[in-house]
Amino acid sequence: MSIAFSAETSSFTLRVRSSVYVIEARADGRLVHVGSAPASGGWTPTSLSQYPDADYIWEPGGPRYELPTFGDVAHSDVALKASFPGATGDLAPGEANHVPVRDLRLRYVSHEIRTDAAPALSAKHQQLPRESSTQRQTLVIHLRDIGYDFHVRLFYRVTPEYDVIERWTEIENRTNGEVKIESLAFGAVHFPIGDYDLTHAAGSWAREFIPTTRPIAQGVTMLAQQGLNTGHSVNPFYLVHERGQATEHAGNVYFGALAYSGNWSLRFEQLPTRATHVIGGYEQTDFELILAPGATHTTPAFVHGVADDGLGGASRRLHAFARDYILPGFTDDQLRPVLYNSWEATYFDVSADGQIKLARAAAEIGVELFCMDDGWFGARRNDRAGLGDWVVSPDQFPQGLKPLIDEVLRLGMRFGLWVEPEMVNPDSDLYRAHPDWILHFPGRPRTERRNQMILDFGRADVVDFIYRALDTLVRENDITFFKWDMNRYSTEPGSSAGVGIWRKHVEGVYDIMDRLRTAHPRLDIQSCSGGGGRIDLGILQRCDQAWTSDNTDAIDRVWIEDGYSLAYPLRAMECWVTHEHNHQTNRRLSLDLRFDVAMRGTLGIGTNIDRLTDDEKASYSRKISFYKRIRSVVQNGDLHRLANVRDGNVSVWQVVSADRRQCVYSAVVVDQRQGQHTPMYRLRSLLPDTVYRVTDEHNKELLRVPGGQLMSLGVPGDARSAGLGRSMRSRTLWIEAV
Ligand code: DGJ
């Protein structure tokens, strides 16, 4: 079994395929981390019994608490800080009970091991089932404060063949008074003693997910977002590796991600002893949780694990886990459909006739899901009016959406609609009726961004109102896809929910999405937040795909894709082919390059396709058919980054099917210099003695060689010219066992 308890050492051993994680309840009840180690090392951290039982966390062998609390820990970061209204226990003679007690010391009470019989979704959904998981186990460790009737339960759900442990924390107040929680993490993870580097993604609007590596220096290194979305500037995942010890393909990499879409932080700390840990959970800046007597709070999850095959191995584990356990089940298709989105074609200028023209052109080239973007509702003719009024505009659609949707369905496509449910323009019927429904502090300025304000999801009536508006849209129209957008960052978080608004907002978004999906099982949702501002494992539990950036320039996108791919699965990465003359960067890029970059995830088209020439339409059709041929591997396969754009000017991806008999090779040279050869890269993970056929989008055979040869020589490096100057070249190849 994956979880074992030894009564002799009072320790828990959690075993996954490639690593082992050990926890010990010490004689005095303190729950401490013993160690974690890759299984390939052949050893298991056993017990701390031979180490001095130091109280002080900076002493060698000092306690590395599984959940460090303010009280047990005084000089370094903590995962939980609670304040009790008055003392329990004995007071010194004459001592007054007048100070809140900010002191929490948790001790082991009991534990249980639960078995979760649910199989991996892969068995149900994937064309090529991977080793199917039949049982997942969850360890629950019960802790209690030394005096107060305050309980904490630590959860560890183990998915062995994915090398993943999911952690979350439940706190329960059984005292008679309110307990103020001043800081709360979902979990803490300790790394083996050492010096580490942190690889993660950082950026900004239109430049999300830029891969970054930096040292975890002594002291605290923090990734955080105080917001109502996940954030553009940093994303809640990490790959941590011992300095100089890991590459893309080799070495131990400790990975982790928070399943949460709001105010989050990942705080890495290296102590003077070189003991290093990360505490991940709610961001502390404006945090408070009042736990009433009898109340319980359960945190979102912190997913973590260890890969023994480099950064690539860590990404593959996160991808597989997200595909099979995080992303919602499939609806109509096993594969993500090819999408059309109207935004860059029409912007706000949407009309029934115009959209019908686009839909006909989309169906002709092979699109399967037609999504009408912003501009279809209320008085929304630009970004200054109408947000919040989720009724079809009678000016643009005099007969409602029915003629358009009927035509889309007649053409054999599904229909989707853009919404931005959390927002309101002051120039809207909703705001005129309910000016008090927005986040603000009474008597203080109400900041607008993109002419919009944020609805107060701290109010249950507001959340319910928005749910009913969206539910009505789906009930009255054949809508099977929402693009759920969120286009501003938060200011003035004044709410009836007080400081709790940070959590309430995210809970409101999750609640609406969950209710919609339950009421409408065929509905898919795309997460968008001014591009890639809301991508994390929490939103991906509710959304089938995500928009990684408003920047659709194929060259800029290569960086974004490389960074996104560090943690998130390709099937959720929506990518559009847009105009030759890019709207964001003004750069002209060939159709080949635009398709090659967009085919690395779930393909979408965002051009003004009703203006294409017949030749252009034929090229679009051919490339979309090619994508349909390769997409089961792109969307469900294992990614190997053969070359990272951050290491040079080349990005080469290879995505391999679970049975290793099919793969997609995608190479982009972003800036080729005169005289520089296009480099060749050895393929990985093929069957050495099996003969593979290498073909291009025309199904032209380029090679027929054994896998061993492809893994030793790669494919020829003569990536075709992008046709618009020699500096940008790309190619996508399909490689299949004969
Ligand atoms: C921001 C999104 O990222 C775009 O794709 C588009 O939907 C606009 N919002 C619409 O306002």
What pLDDT digit, counting tens, does each position of 662-676 carry?
A: 999 999 988 777 666
This prediction's pTM: 0.96
Q: State the Rg of the chain over Cα.
A: 27
Give the contacts of 689 (CB within 8 A, at least 6 positions apart). 706, 707, 708
Confidence band of 686 (pLDDT split at 50, 70, 90): very high
Average pLDDT, the chain: 92
Cα-to-centroid distance, 76 and ligand 1 (Å): 42
Cα-to-centroid distance, 529 and ligand 1 (Å): 8
pLDDT tens readout for residues 216-230: 999 999 999 999 999
Nearest atom in ligand 1 to the alpha carbon of residue 550 is: 3
Which of 340, 347, 374 has most ligand 1 atoms within 8 Å of its beta carbon, as the pocket-test mutant?
Answer: 374
Separation CA 103–CA 85 (nearest Å):
11
Cβ(666)–Cβ(631) below 8 Å: no
% of the chain surpassing 90 pLDDT = 85
Cβ(538)–Cβ(215) below 8 Å: no
pLDDT at residue 120 is higher than 60: no
Cα-to-centroid distance, 533 and ligand 1 (Å): 12
Nearest CA owner, ligand 1 atom 11: 374
pLDDT for the residue numbered 648: 84
Confidence band of 330 (pLDDT split at 50, 70, 90): low
pLDDT at residue 559 is higher than 90: yes
pLDDT at residue 640 is higher than 50: yes
Give me the mean pLDDT over the 19-44 stretch.
Answer: 88
Q: What b-and-e string marks burial along 333-355, b requiring 16 or more CB atoms within 10 Å of the CB?
A: eebbbbbbbbbbbbeeebbbebb
Name the burial class of residue 47, with classes exposed (0-12), middle (13-18) and buried (19+) by CB atoms within 10 angstroms of its CB.
middle
pLDDT for the residue numbered 125: 35
- The DSSP 8-state label assigned to residue 449 in this structure reads B
Nearest CA owner, ligand 1 atom 1: 530
Confidence band of 577 (pLDDT split at 50, 70, 90): very high
Nearest CA owner, ligand 1 atom 5: 550
Nearest atom in ligand 1 to the alpha carbon of residue 483 is: 7
Give all strands (DSSP E) within 1-57, no chain letters.
3-6, 11-15, 19-25, 31-38
Cα-to-centroid distance, 201 and ligand 1 (Å): 22
**Closest of 99, 159, 100, 98 to residue 132, by C-alpha:** 159
pLDDT for the residue numbered 86: 81
Structure tokens at 642: 């053969």
Give all strands (DSSP E) within 404-476, no chain letters.
414-419, 423-424, 453-454
Nearest CA owner, ligand 1 atom 6: 343
Q: Which helix (H) or strand (E) holds 734?
A: strand 729-737
Nearest atom in ligand 1 to the alpha carbon of residue 347 is: 10
pLDDT tens readout for residues 354-376: 999 999 999 999 999 999 999 99
pLDDT tens readout for residues 462-480: 999 999 999 999 999 999 9
Give me the mean pLDDT over the 16-41 stretch.
Answer: 90
Which of 341, 373, 535 has most ligand 1 atoms within 8 Å of its beta carbon, as the pocket-test mutant?
Answer: 373
Structure tokens at 62: 């000092």
pLDDT at residue 553 is higher than 70: yes
Q: Specify the range with the lowest mean pLDDT, choosing from 54-58, 540-544, 681-685.
A: 54-58
Q: Please give the domain boundaries of the chain with CATH numbers for all domains.
A: 3-325 (2.70.98.60), 645-737 (2.60.40.1180)
Cα-to-centroid distance, 374 and ligand 1 (Å): 7
Which of 205, 343, 423, 543 has most ligand 1 atoms within 8 Å of its beta carbon, as the pocket-test mutant?
Answer: 343
Nearest atom in ligand 1 to the alpha carbon of residue 373 is: 7
- For ligand 1, residues with CB inside 6 Å are 343, 373-374, 418, 485, 487, 528, 530-531, 547, 550
Confidence band of 717 (pLDDT split at 50, 70, 90): low
Cα-to-centroid distance, 170 and ligand 1 (Å): 37
Which of 205, 377, 485 has most ligand 1 atoms within 8 Å of its beta carbon, as the pocket-test mutant?
Answer: 485
pLDDT for the residue numbered 449: 95
**Closest of 595, 581, 547, 686 to residue 206, by C-alpha:** 547
Nearest atom in ligand 1 to the alpha carbon of residue 418 is: 7
Cα-to-centroid distance, 322 and ligand 1 (Å): 25
pLDDT for the residue numbered 480: 97
Cα-to-centroid distance, 623 and ligand 1 (Å): 25
pLDDT at residue 128 is higher than 50: no
Nearest CA owner, ligand 1 atom 9: 530
Cα-to-centroid distance, 407 and ligand 1 (Å): 24
pLDDT for the residue numbered 118: 53
**Better pLDDT: 409 or 48:** 409
**Better pLDDT: 529 or 96:** 529
Cα-to-centroid distance, 641 and ligand 1 (Å): 29
pLDDT tens readout for residues 229-251: 999 999 999 999 999 999 999 99
Which of 418, 419, 605, 607 has most ligand 1 atoms within 8 Å of its beta carbon, as the pocket-test mutant?
Answer: 418
pLDDT tens readout for residues 102-118: 999 999 999 999 997 65
Residue 78 vs residues 184, 189, 652: alpha-carbon distances, Å: 8, 12, 41
Separation CA 37–CA 22 (nearest Å):
9
CA dihedral 284, 290, 296, 298 (to 10 degrees): -20
Name the burial class of residue 513, with classes exposed (0-12), middle (13-18) and buried (19+) by CB atoms within 10 angstroms of its CB.
buried
Q: Annotated active-site positions, please?
A: 485, 550
